[in-house]
Amino acid sequence: MRLITHNMLSCNIKGVTNGFPLKIEAEKVIEKEVDFNPDFLKHMFAKIEWKALVEAARAMGYGELPEDSPDVAVIESADETFLKKLHHALLEIHLEEGALVCPETGRKFPVNKGIPNMLLHEDEV
Amino acid sequence: MKSRTADIHLVSSHREVYEPCDDSFALVDALLADQTNLINHNPKLCMEIGSGSGYVITSLILLLKESLPNVHYLATDTNPIAARVTNETLQAHGVSAEVVCTDIASCLEERLSGLVDVMVMNPPYVPTPEYEVGVEGIASAWAGGENGRSVIDRVLPVVDRLLSERGWFYLVTLTSNYPSEICLVMRERGYASRIVVQRSTEEENLIVLKFWRDEDEESVVKETASVSFLTQFSRSLSSFVEKQWR
């Protein structure tokens, strides 16, 4: 599971109002190189919850992202230093084994072989 | 332009996971027929709901990869074994997608809304008793409840929510699912539709539909007003066609 996916996942147990972002418990993190594509990053940037991404990256051992969300000028600038960091955080770090924890209920969703299992129990639907 | 689809010999399998069959091939053929349109459409994010063996999502990636190397792909399945098998099939073809085990797209609905440019689904469409829908394992791949519509009807609003302004949706149906009625339901939500592939096998009459947003308000209002009549009409038409086929 990449952090771009993590940024789109929320816990939707019945009654939960604050199921985002899921806290990451990392057991095994792997990195896979992906072609750098500034257009895709610019496209996705508006949709990313910045704080959630920074925390998730940190939980995966990557602390290079700035604490505060950079403004659009940084995204559009010719200097691609920031975009490269964003690229690495969003697309190249994978949670292979571990768990995602609901911020409201503490319910754990396991991640095995890179696949988060977000299925709910009958009494949670 | 290469027209390579997933290699059936490289598709992973498991006894609890639906293997690629006529319906999967029909869906991939629809994507193949629409390959040029898809490439011109230039999607950023594509998604399959109920990826099963991984045959369809892998084929979609292979069809777009050469012209559009930077598309992001997502696949979901409610069966954890199927999610794993999807990943194995992707890896065997040297491609990647993010796989999430969830019911339809329930954990993604909120944050992913309006972001998906292309969605594909080969749903559980076989008419079955309602209690068979959503049970664990391979039955979740085909059991569709009354008229085979239980899961399809739950999926349509989710699709509407997840699709971007220029989103496209490809859906496999049977004539016994009343596909024209599905088109009307989507029409009410502002979608136009067409048949991409139609195929009769020994067991079933398959129709692959494509939907896209077509916000012509006047026609929406008009269609909505006459929907109950049309629903009745399309039902009788579908059953008539069904009988003719048999």
Q: How far apart are CA B210 and CA B151, in angstroms?
A: 18
Residues B224-234: pLDDT tens digits? Answer: 444 455 555 56
Whether pLDDT at B1 is above 60: yes
Q: Topology of domain A3-119, per CATH?
A: N-terminal domain of TfIIb (2.20.25)
Q: How many C-alpha atoms does A13 have within 13 Å on its Cβ side? A: 20
Q: Contacts of residue B111 in chain A, CB cutoff 8 Å?
A: 7-10, 20, 47, 49
The vertex-A120 CA angle with A118 and A123, nearest 5°, equals 165
Q: Contacts of residue A117 in chain B, CB cutoff 8 Å?
A: 80, 83, 101
Peptide bond into B157 cis (omega under 30): no
Tell me what ipTM this predicted complex has: 0.95
Q: Where are the domains of chain A?
A: 3-119
Distances (CA, A) of B45 to B19, B32, B35, B116, B177: 25, 18, 16, 5, 28
Q: Contacts of residue B100 in chain A, CB cutoff 8 Å?
A: 1, 5, 9, 115-116, 118
Whether pLDDT at B215 is above 80: no
Residues B81-115: pLDDT tens digits? Answer: 999 999 999 999 999 999 999 999 999 999 999 99
pLDDT in 10s for each residue of chain A, 125 residues: 999 999 999 999 999 999 999 999 999 999 999 999 999 999 999 899 999 999 999 999 999 999 998 888 888 888 899 999 999 999 999 999 999 999 999 999 999 999 999 999 999 99
Identify the residue among A118, A120, A121 best suited for mutation to test binding to B, counting B beta carbons within 10 A and taking the highest. Answer: A118
Identify the residue among A43, A115, A122, A125 best suited for mutation to test binding to B, counting B beta carbons within 10 A and taking the highest. Answer: A115
Q: How high is the pLDDT of residue B194?
A: 97
CATH match of B8-245 with 3.40.50.150: yes
Q: What is the mean pLDDT of the segment spanning B53-65?
A: 98
Q: Where are the domains of chain B?
A: 8-245
Q: How far apart are CA A17 and CA B161, in angstroms?
A: 19
Q: Flag if A43 and B44 touch (Cβ within 8 Å).
A: yes
Q: Flag if B74 and A35 touch (Cβ within 8 Å).
A: no
Minimum CA–CA partner of A22 in chain B: B107
Non-local CB neighbours of B132 within 8 Å, separated by 6+ positions: B139, B143, B145
- What is the pLDDT confidence band of residue B245, given thresholds at 50, 70 and 90? low
Q: How far apart are CA B228 and CA A11, in angstroms?
A: 37
Q: Flag if A8 and B72 touch (Cβ within 8 Å).
A: no
Non-local CB neighbours of B195 within 8 Å, separated by 6+ positions: B207, B208, B209, B210
Q: How high is the pLDDT of residue B231?
A: 56
Q: Flag if A119 and B110 touch (Cβ within 8 Å).
A: no
**Short-list A89, A83, A111, CA closest to A23:** A111
Q: Does B80 reach chain A within 8 Å, measured CB to CB?
A: yes
Q: What is the mean pLDDT of the segment spanning B11-40?
A: 95
Out of A10, A32, A118, the one facing B101 most closely (by C-beta) is A118
Q: Contacts of residue B136 in chain A, CB cutoff 8 Å?
A: none
Q: Flag if B98 and A4 touch (Cβ within 8 Å).
A: yes
